[in-house]
Amino acid sequence: MEALVYTKDDKEYETIKDVLETEAELIDVYRETTEQQSSFAHEYDIVVVALGGAQGMELVLEYSRRFYDTRLIWITDDSYFAGTAIRHHIYDFIQRPYDRGTIEGSIKSAVKDCPNRYRWNNRASAK
């Protein structure tokens, strides 16, 4: 499995990365910040966008448009965007502040629901 995390906050990234690695076997976690160019050349299994405002909204909408099977988790400060997340079938919407249990539940559910999970589980079992 592969996951991509968009966040400017180092502590938040480490928490999300730790949860992803705990909940999914054989997962590679990558990070991008807003200073880097967004890459849509590769489909990830899970994308966590922990950016607020229009910047976060643009990323999740573009990912949802391009990659139907990607499980998108959107973390933002603004509850206004919850309606946008629902209308565009974003996998999960988390409003800050959140606790570790919230992100754990969201990621656990996304991993279990990921269309590619059997391929990765079979690879892990073969080792």
| DSSP SS3 for 57 | helix
Q: What CA–CA distance (Å, rounded) separates 50 from 58? A: 12
Closest C-alpha among 81, 85, 78 to residue 106: 85
Give me the domain span that covers residue 50: 2-126
Tracing tokens 């539940």 back to the chain, one arrives at 105
Q: How far is CA 119 from the centre of its chain?
A: 19
pLDDT above 70 coverage of the chain, percent: 87
CATH code, 120? 3.40.50.2300
Closest C-alpha among 49, 62, 55 to residue 96: 49
Q: Tell me: the pLDDT tens digits for 32-78?
A: 877 555 568 788 999 999 987 888 888 888 888 999 899 999 998 88
* Number of domains within the chain: 1
pTM of the model: 0.86
